[in-house]
Copies of this chain bind each other. A is one copy, B any other.
Amino acid sequence: MADFTLNATAASLLGFLHEGPRTGWDLVVITQEQIGEFWSLTQSQVYRELAAMAAAGLIVAGERGPRDRRPYALTPVGREAFDTWAAREPGPDTLRMPFLLYVALGRHIPPARLHAAVRAHRARHEAQLAKYQAIHATCAEWGADEPYTLATLRFGLAYEQMILDWFATLPPEISGSAPARVPTSTEGGPARSTA
C-alpha cells in the first residue's frame, strides 16, 4: 500500500489536491489550464488515476454533490506519496514535434507541401504566443505571490518567442520565402544567443 508508485500524472493530481478537495472535473479543468501546455493529460486519465489512488488510500472520495460531483481529498498517505515522488529527480524533458519531423525529412517532401506546413505551424505558434501574452498582461500583478505559475507562464512566452525567431531564420527551401534579415549564423562558428 505504501509502495504505490506514483507516475507524474498522478502526482500532479495530488499536487493540486494540496489546495483542497477537488472533483475529477475540477482537476481536468485546472490541470488543463495550469500545466496542459507542458504536461497534457486527458479526462480519462484523470478519472482513472483518481479511482486508482482512492483504492490505494492516497485520497478519499467525499459525498456526492449536486451534479454527482464527487470531491476527492488528500489523505496523509497521499501527502506522503507525493513527497516521495517529489524527492526523486524529475525525468528528462521529451519533445514530440511532428513538424520538425517534416523539416528533417524535408528532402523527400514536395516543396509546396513543406511550405504550407511551415505557414500553418508558424500561425499556430503566433496564436499561442498571443494567448500567453494576453494571460501575462492580465496577471502581471501576481509577481511575488505566484512565482511558480508565473515562471511557467514566462517559460511559455520564451518558448513561443524562440520558435518564431527560429522560423525567421529558415532558408527559402524550407520556408518558401526569404529569411528575415537576422544574424545569418550559417557562416560558421558555434551559435550564440542573440538575447
In angstroms, Cα B106 to Cα A159, docked, is 20
- Residues A135-153 near B (CB distance < 8 A): 136-137, 140-141, 143, 147-152
Q: Which of A96, A97, A173 has the most CB of B within 10 A?
A: A97
In angstroms, Cα B139 to Cα A186, docked, is 10
Number of copies: 2
In this complex, the interface size class of chain A, counting residues with CB under 8 Å from chain B, is 35 or more
Q: Which of A107, A174, A194, A195 has the most CB of B within 10 A?
A: A195
Q: Which of the residues B96, B169, B190 comes within 8 Å of A136, measured between beta carbons?
A: B190
Q: Does A120 contact B (CB under 8 A)?
A: yes
Q: Does A133 contact B (CB under 8 A)?
A: yes
Which residues of A are interface residues toward B (Cβ below 8 A)? 8, 11-12, 15-16, 18, 34-35, 37-40, 82, 86-87, 89-110, 113, 117, 120-121, 124, 132-134, 136-137, 140-141, 143, 147-152, 154-155, 157-159, 161-162, 164-166, 169-171, 173-174, 182, 185-191, 193-195
